[in-house]
Copies of this chain bind each other. A is one copy, B any other.
């Protein structure tokens, strides 16, 4: 049965201060633009002020400094976006699955499956695998030998977990993710590549989310590790023996090469590339599209993107990149002629 709560009830559960009609009845969240008369929305960016004026929502979540920008019922709080996230969780709760072992699921005899778990059609659970309480294994998933899935985790259809990998509690893994495939370990010898068997595992903490078609390689010798609370978007690639620190978030299409160590509370933008065998300190933010080629020891935001331009202008300017060193020499030469001492002179 769908949830319905008054603003007062929401605030009593989640905190915040109600301004205006506290008995406004809410049944769902909505966007500023499209929320209907029984929906609550949020406002966190002043540049969307006109959308706030036009909203048809029943109520809005906002910060103190935006309190008087509207007269509709509202909840004032410190972090409207996080508050909104919690409100949306109230109206869209994750239900524990109904226990099931579908007739077409192939569960090996030596697998240990909690009776409260749900194994959907066509899923395959190999020998020695462990599936915890209330775990939801989607259709067509594959759980390899001796892998382990913690309580309350949910694997959407077509997730593959290779043998030996361990996933903590409350994981959310989207379709097409592959956990534990071989790392790219090859040694050059006389013009041939020799494969290095990848005998490590992937070890994933609690409360980790992994996006669709992301891949996390098993370790070459030791393990690849994702600590608690790590969030990966879609099509992220994590190389072998990487360690991703707790509560770090990595956006779509980013790649982390082998043996990189990413700190805690980092953010990595979409399409960024982190090269191998380097370290990122805690609280490092990497901008989208940036390639990180050496360790970063200080928190902060780091960027390395070529700014786009109209193609003709780009062509005209980009050619000079090949002459920067020479251009600098010429400036130094002029400085000498004029008796100036340049910074790099």
Q: Interface of A with B (CB < 8 Å)?
A: 28-31, 33-34, 79, 81-82, 84-86, 88-89, 91-92, 94, 102, 104, 106, 120-122, 124, 138-140, 142, 144, 156-158, 160, 162, 172, 174-176, 178, 181-182, 184-189, 191-197, 199, 209, 211-213, 215, 217, 221-222, 229, 231, 233-235, 237, 239, 247, 249, 251-253, 255, 257, 265, 270-271, 273, 275, 286-293, 300-311, 313-328, 330-331, 333-335, 337-338, 340, 342-344
Contacts and interface: CB of A to CB of B under 8 A. Distances in A.
Contacts of A317: 321-325
Contacts of A197: 88-89, 91-92, 94
Contacts of A319: 307, 325
Contacts of A316: 325
B335 A330 contact: yes
Given A221-B30, A303-B311, A182 B191 contact: no
B142 A142 contact: no
B174 A79 contact: no
A295 to B, nearest CB: 12
A343 B196 CA distance: 51
Contacts of A333: 340
A338 B331 CA distance: 12
Number of copies: 3
Nearest to A121: B106
Contacts of A186: 85, 209, 231, 249
A301 B311 contact: yes
Contact of A311 (B106, B287, B318): B287
Nearest to A277: B45
B302 A321 contact: no
A306 B251 CA distance: 20
A84 B33 CA distance: 45
Residue of A181, A229, A325, A335 contacting most chain B CB atoms (<10 Å): A181
A326 B320 CA distance: 10
Contacts of A286: 308
A324 B320 contact: yes
Contacts of A178: 158, 174-176, 212-213, 234
Given A86-B194, A213-B213, 10 more contacts: A34-B222, A160-B175, A162-B175, A273-B289, A286-B308, A302-B310, A303-B309, A304-B314, A318-B324, A323-B328
18 contacts: A85-B196, A88-B199, A104-B104, A156-B160, A156-B162, A184-B252, A234-B237, A235-B255, A239-B252, A255-B270, A257-B288, A273-B288, A273-B289, A302-B311, A304-B307, A320-B327, A327-B328, A334-B334
Contacts of A306: 290-291, 304-306, 318, 321
